Amino acid sequence: MATETAASRQTTQRAAAVLNGEVTLTVALAGQPNVGKSTVFNLLTGLSQHVGNWPGKTVEQKTGTYRFNGTTIHLVDLPGTYSLTANSAEEVIARDYIIKERPNVVVVVVNAASLERNLYLVAEILPLPTQVVVGLNMVDVAAGEGMNVEPQVLEAALGVPVVPMVASKNQGVRELVVAVDRLARREIPYTPNIPEIRDDHRQVLDEIHALVADCVPNPYPSEWIALKLLEGDDEVTAMMREDCLPDQRWDQVHEILMAHEDAVLSVASGRYDWVGRMIRAAVTRPRPGQITLTERLDRWATHPVWGLAILAAILAVVFWLTFTIGQPLQDLLDTYVVGNLSSAASTWLATAPAWLRGLIVDGAIAGAGTVLTFLPILVIFFAVLALLEDLGYMARAAYVMDRFMHLMGLHGKSFMPLFLGFGCNVPAVMGSRIIDSQRARLLTILLAPLVPCAARMTVIVFITPIFFGRAATLVAWALIAATLVVLAVVGVLINKWVLKGERAAFIMELPLYHRPNARTIGIQVWQNSAEFLKKAGSLILIMSIIIWALSTLPHGDIETSYLASVGKALEPLGNLMGLSWEMVVALLASFVAKENSIATMSILLGGSESAAGLDAALGSVLTPAAALAFLVVQMLFVPCVATVAAIRQETRSWRWTAFSVGLLLALSLTGGVLTYQIVSAL
């Protein structure tokens, strides 16, 4: 990068002005926002400040004076900037001021607690034609965070004066001024360790420098201009192309730049290598206990094999908890709330028209009421997920699952949206927007409905105990595992045929594990439960009434109803899976919302009975093999209408929407028939 020697630099810097025997220095204050730069400025200038705007800009300019030891320091507060890469007006002002006005000294105020980011700015200022003093501010904050920053070591490594400070307590500010004064008077050595471009592009930099050196306008340093051209700096590029270089010379420069479009990486890498060396030399970070705990836990939680085993075990515990605590609560709710409500409504409506009694008792209460009894199960489910999320585990779950998906040859970039599908398939489909590749997006959208959403899980949780007793947890767990295997196989096949094995790359921050906050979990459980209640009170209630109406009209007899006609037309298909027409209709109703299948069963099989009655009714119309087939179909079936709408919206294609529906229909029916036939034969 800049190869000027310290001696040659001295000649490029502005000499301190001497007027009537008094020395006047111009000192610029640079630094990132919120590092205490303004505090230093205010402490030094006090009431002598002048506030205006930078010429031609709306950015505030603050200047002031400070007298010290026979020296008048003219202080200029540069705008806070993260770098000098011309990304913003502030960055252009800061670098233009240093290059064009050439202050005697630039004080770079850095945050000792965030040195990595702050030193990058120092790395960019050091090659400019000025002298630098580093004000190492907030050393108290760094110490409080357990960091040990050694100013003398940093000073030796940087080759420029480093002054430790706590500006907010006016500590070290006077020492900073002394260092500035002595440096300007050349009483202390100045041998800056300037970052170098990486070797792989040094020759390219030299070539560009040779082409532009004699055309660089004063006061820009030619080496800096060459470096900025290599970095692709828009402002410098425009200046050199339009105002400085002859066309033929620009063409030569442009050709080199085009051949090395990633040279910016070498330039920035040189700076990061330099920052890394400074940090390794001057900073030590004792490892706090929390990090050690996180690392210790992550050795297991993110392990390729154990991590998956832990995830599977956690899933099993979630179901066990749901069955052990949620199921009895659901029964209580069913008996004492829905059952009593149903009886009370029947009594109150004893003299009302039969259709009104049917609508309220057999439609609204039997349908939406039964779905409402899921609330305890969902509360437990939401609470456990919120707990895992707040604990910091969910990111690990995503991490190990992604590695697993890569083993299966799936596109890793699809993982995050698919993972959202465990809550609801709609955000899974909509989340596919994050994927650049059109084909990978499509694959994700096609796979999203195969992720078992919370609504499908409630159906599993409701049905498995009726048929599988103590093995319910195992069956529920196996159903989810099997669905994920189907998802993986479909993904592998599509990936192989459509994406040709393309492999995406991710970087994921795994947050520290921390003690869960009861309030955070409570809020999340409340929000999700409130949404469920809203849905039960609106969409599911309306659907329950429609299903009841269709099961009653036109003659008031379920066997001759419109719904029975549709169900019976499809019964031959249902028979292959051991399903009666009522169960086929329940499956169709789940297209509106998955919970509707339970509401429909309750209306068609349970009548005015409560969920307990539905248990018995289901037991009489389904064999365990048929129940398993029903659950398999439910898991793989066409998603709810909201998800299908999202698929249409995201693919913008009816053809792909139809393909998705067709694929899921084929998968679910094949899965259901195979399950029933195989299990029945056993």
Interaction site with another protein (CB under 8 A): 87, 114-117, 120, 198, 200, 262, 264-266, 268-269, 272-273, 275-276, 279, 283, 285, 295, 298, 302, 381-382, 385-386, 389, 394-395, 397-399, 402-403, 406, 412-413, 415-416, 419-420, 422-424, 426-427, 430-431, 433-434, 436, 454, 503-511, 524, 527-528, 531-532, 535, 642
**Shortest gap between Cβ of 315 and another protein (angstroms)?**
12
Report the candidate in 272, 62, 29 with the shortest Cα–Cα distance to residue 167: 29
b (16+ CB within 10 A) / e for 417-448: bbbbbbbbbbbbbbbbeebeeeebbbbbbbbb
Distance CA 375, CA 368 (A): 12
Shortest CB 536 distance to another protein, Å: 12
In terms of phi and psi (left: phi > 0; alpha: psi -120 to 50; beta: otherwise), the region of 563 is alpha
Distance of closest approach, residue 458 Cβ to another protein, in angstroms: 12
Nearer to another protein, 117 or 254 (CB): 117
Query: Rounded to the nearest 5°, which phi and psi values hold at 61?
Result: -115, 130
Tell me the C-alpha distance between 227 and 230, whole Å: 5
Contacts of 376 (CB under 8 A, 6+ apart): 325, 326, 329, 330, 333
CB-count burial class (<10 Å; 0-12, 13-18, 19+) for 205? buried
Token output for 98? 């240093």
Cβ(132)–Cβ(106) below 8 Å: yes
> What minimum distance in Å lies between the beta carbon of 504 and another protein?
6
Supply the minimum distance, in Å, between the C-beta of residue 618 and another protein: 27
Smallest gap from Cβ 88 to another protein, in A, equals 12
The minimum distance between CB 396 and another protein, in angstroms, equals 9
Nearer to another protein, 66 or 422 (CB): 422
Q: Spell out the residues 6+ positions from residue 341 whose beta carbon is closer than 8 angstroms to its own.
A: 365, 369
Q: Closest CB to another protein among 243 and 509? A: 509
Instruction: Identify the helix (H) or strand (E) that includes residue 19.
Output: strand 17-19
CB nearer to another protein: give 19 or 507: 507
Cβ closest to another protein, residue 186 vs residue 433: 433
Our CB check for another protein shows the closer of 352 and 645 to be 645
3-class DSSP string for 389-405: HHHCHHHHHHHHHHHHH
Nearer to another protein, 46 or 144 (CB): 144
Least distance (Å) from another protein to the CB of residue 169?
A: 24
State the nearest-atom distance from the C-beta of 405 to another protein, in Å. Answer: 9
Q: In terms of CB distance, is 264 or 546 closer to another protein?
A: 264
Closer to another protein at the Cβ: 19 or 305? 305
Query: DSSP character for 20?
Result: T
Looking at the Cβ atoms of 398 and 664, the one nearer to another protein is 398
Q: Could you tell me the smallest distance in angstroms from the CB atom of residue 505 to another protein?
A: 4
The identity of residue 340, as a single letter, is: N
Query: Residue 451 or 664: which CB sits closer to another protein?
Result: 451
Apex CA 403: angle with CA 402 and CA 406, to 5°?
A: 90
Number of other residues whose CB lies within 10 A of the CB of residue 8: 10
DSSP letter string, 67-97: EETTEEEEEEEPPP-S-SSSSSHHHHHHHHI
- Paired with 107 in beta bridges are 29, 133
Beta carbon of residue 559, minimum distance to another protein (angstroms, whole number): 35
CA 540 and chain centroid, separation: 32
Report the SS3 class of residue 50: strand
| 43 vs 391, beta carbon nearer another protein | 391
In angstroms, give the least distance from the CB of 418 to another protein.
Answer: 10
User: In 366-453, where does DSSP find H-type helix?
Assistant: 370-372, 375-391, 393-407, 415-420, 425-430, 438-447
Instruction: Return contacts of 288-291, CB within 8 angstroms, 24+ apart.
Output: 288/146, 290/512, 290/513, 290/514, 291/512
